[in-house]
Chain A
């Protein structure tokens, strides 16, 4: 079954890169949705069904932490796995995002295989075991 992905990042270049990684991953990606910040991402969630969310942290208007808190407060959205994709590599930040509800954390820079494996893990597809 194909899954819909929401990519949340204020950088169009990074959204394009992540999209390309998804295209080349061999995963059954259905719709690829994009948002430039957390607020725009909430608008997408109100309008579309999404199976997994990839979000940056440092973004204008609504950052990734605020966005994740909003997702976790919604009864329906909280079932959607969120993977944080960020340059912030500090253990403190990783721990906080996982405590709030993120299911995974990918540090930039990342190998395409790393993102694919994390997606397989949180979606329970493929043969990734972590």
Chain B
């Protein structure tokens, strides 16, 4: 297990991805949990093995998707899930580059769609966004 602070690495990576490709940044104050969520998970293997997931409350996920795709209207559920998958993929890649820069790793999509329920374990980081909270979890 790397000695680097993986929680801090997750937050830095997420901020970078959100600012550069979603043109948004987390709010200062945490938000109360509310409503159903959309989740995407990837697993990685190679020099390190594990799983990374990104779950956002539905309104936050819709906003992220609309911004990423440049859509004025509400994106479809399929498009929202697709964008959440890309978000998870990019944050995971960015985290792993910080945690294990020398490792040859492969990131593989695992699942995307409505959140199947509460998942315990791993390192958790929650980032409040305008439409709701984005929760990141890294297990390795």
Contacts and interface: CB of A to CB of B under 8 A. Distances in A.
Interface of A: 11-14, 16-17, 20, 58, 86-93, 108-111
Interface of B: 16-17, 20-21, 65, 68-70, 79, 82-83, 85-86, 89-90, 92-94, 96-97, 101-108
Contact of B92 (A13, A87, A93): A87
A17 B69 contact: yes
A11 B16 CA distance: 20
A17 B68 contact: yes
B122 to A, nearest CB: 20
Given A13-B68, A90-B102, 20 more contacts: A12-B82, A16-B70, A17-B21, A20-B70, A58-B108, A87-B89, A87-B92, A87-B94, A87-B107, A88-B107, A89-B96, A90-B97, A90-B103, A90-B105, A92-B102, A92-B104, A108-B21, A108-B90, A108-B93, A109-B16
A108 B69 CA distance: 16
Contacts of B103: 90
A14 B86 contact: yes
B17 A109 contact: yes
* Chain B interface SS verdict (over half): helix
A90 B104 contact: yes
Nearest to A16: B69
A11 B82 contact: yes
Given A17-B21, A110-B20, A110-B21, A88 B93 contact: yes
A16 B103 CA distance: 30
A90 B96 CA distance: 9
Given A11-B86, A14-B86, A108-B90, A91 B21 contact: no
A46 B102 CA distance: 37
A20 B85 CA distance: 19
A129 to B, nearest CB: 23
A13 B90 contact: no
A15 B137 CA distance: 26
B100 to A, nearest CB: 8
Nearest to A113: B20
A109 B21 contact: yes
Contacts of A110: 20-21
A14 B93 CA distance: 15
Contacts of B102: 90-92
